[in-house]
Structure 1
Amino acid sequence: MTAFVGAVKVNSVSSSGVFHIGDAYYLQPISSAKTYAGGGSFNTGDGIRVQLGQSDTIVYDQDQID
């Protein structure tokens, strides 16, 4: 059944959100990101000390081009 919608005010929609008015069969927010980091990455806190002799990040990229 068709929906009748009156006035709509949208203040904000997040980057991974969906805003839709009306009939819909399927809605899905889609987002993707690649993050590569070696050993000792993403550490948070006070007084962190990381000692690495050698660090390799091996990445398999299926399409080779982004």
Structure 2
Amino acid sequence: MPAVVGSVTIVNIGSSGVFHIGDVFAIRPISQARTFAGAGSFNVGEVVSVYNYQNTTSVNDNDVVDQPIFNNY
């Protein structure tokens, strides 16, 4: 439905964010990310004890595309 929109201030929009004013049928933001993390990287809690003495995270990736995003509209 048409609407009258007053002043709008946009401070920041993330890489996979969408800002839209008006009528729309479908909004589908598309993004991709690759994350490398070693042992004990994503631990959460009040008391976490992690002992990583000999930790190595290998980030050598020979292929160019892991999961392509195409024809996604």
Structure with max Cα Rg: 1
TM-score (norm 2): 0.45
TM-score (norm 1): 0.48
